[in-house]
Amino acid sequence: MRLSHGTGALRRTGAVGIGVVLAASVLVGGGGAVASSGHGSGHGPGPVGGHGRCTTAVAAGTHQVPVTFGGARYDVRVHVPAGVRSPALVLDLHGSGADGAAQSAISGLDALGDEKGFVAVEPDGAIPLNGGWAWNVPGVPTTAGQMPPADARDDVAFLGAVIDQVGRVVCADDRRVYATGYSGGGRMASALACRLSDRLAAVGTVAGLRAGRPSPLDTSVPDVADCTPTRAVPVVEFHGDADYTNPYQGSSDLRWGYTVPVAVQTWARLDGCRVGPTTTVVSEHVTRYAYSRCSSGADVQLYRVAGGGHTWPGTSVDQSSNGTVTQEISASRILWDFFAAHPRR
């Protein structure tokens, strides 16, 4: 299996190079954070994977951090802000046929992380697709129309390992671990919300929210047995109603299926929301639908972009081949504000 794709993608997209020598502790065993001998009280935020104080050995900037999983090593693109102790960690998952470096350009979360003080983590999928990678989203085919091979990497477990190992390296605050993703990465982030709800504080997606796979018997509804979070997960989605890849009004495709409003309503039900949706006109073409008074302070929100395509609102990347890109809002800034308001309780 090719494990160095992310480095090549950095060169190909012109993103920040990784000619940075990491401290030796980062390069051994996927760990690298230096834990103190003392232990916290257990009542405040703590580093991922432990309860003691933590001192990161990673300099600010963009790195390839090794993650070991299933007997293989994967180099994961990680961007670290300067001067932040116990930062939040944001998984930023690429779309089908892309990679972590391409996703970092689309979302702009590296620069936003520098500004707001969070670590952006942009791993690669492992199923080859159209010169890039696809995620192994549980129970559904890839955009190629085929189910993942039987020996495909378990990406729910892999991304859990990414949270653990990268989190230790950067001394991430385990109450502020979030996931976002675009398109296929949004579907993957949705699967994490269903299956790693005890690890993630909140999830935000662009053109990709699901609440479990479509029912094989009726793709217009979710398979209720496929999404059983153990806690309420705050969720926000951005979706153009002229998206023809993951249609707002749904499709019969087992990869996509039910409509975006059904996905949002299902999360509102899963989160025990008692009010909503309330409608707010955000801008000329953007409307927010919000559910509130949910369990454990969770919120569920949808930003509908009228005439918007299969695109990331506010991106500086040319996505015109996927339809209209609105610049009326920045999905990335709204995502971060939503995340910051929802640490894990």
| CB contact set of 102 (below 8 Å; sequence gap of 6+) | 9, 13, 94, 132
What is the C-alpha separation between 317 and 103, in angstroms, rounded? Answer: 10
Can you give the pLDDT at residue 55?
76
What is the C-alpha separation between 38 and 312, in angstroms, rounded? Answer: 44
- Asked whether the predicted pLDDT for residue 307 surpasses 50, the reply is yes
Can you give the pLDDT at residue 4?
34
315-328: buried (b, 16+ CB within 10 Å) or exposed (e) per residue?
A: beeebeebbbbbee
What is the C-alpha separation between 329 and 155, in angstroms, rounded? Answer: 31
The neighbouring-strand residues paired with 95 are none
Query: CA distances (Å), 227 to each of 5, 27, 75, 161, 204, in order?
Result: 31, 36, 29, 20, 16
Closest CA to 25 of 50, 54, 56: 56
What is the C-alpha separation between 229 and 197, in angstroms, rounded? Answer: 6
Q: Following DSSP, what letter does each residue of 248-307 receive, concatenated?
A: TT--S-TTT-S-HHHHHHHHHHHTT--EEEEEEE-SSSEEEEEEES-GGG--EEEEEETT
Which of 3-17, 33-47, 140-154, 311-325 has the weakest average pLDDT?
Answer: 3-17
Can you give the pLDDT at residue 45?
53
The neighbouring-strand residues paired with 203 are 179, 235
Can you give the pLDDT at residue 15?
32
Which of 98-112, 139-153, 244-258 has the weakest average pLDDT?
Answer: 139-153
Can you give the pLDDT at residue 25?
36
Percent with pLDDT over 90 in the chain = 81
pTM: 0.87
φ and ψ of 212, to 5 deg: 100, 160
Query: What is the average pLDDT score of the chain?
Result: 88
Can you give the pLDDT at residue 169?
96
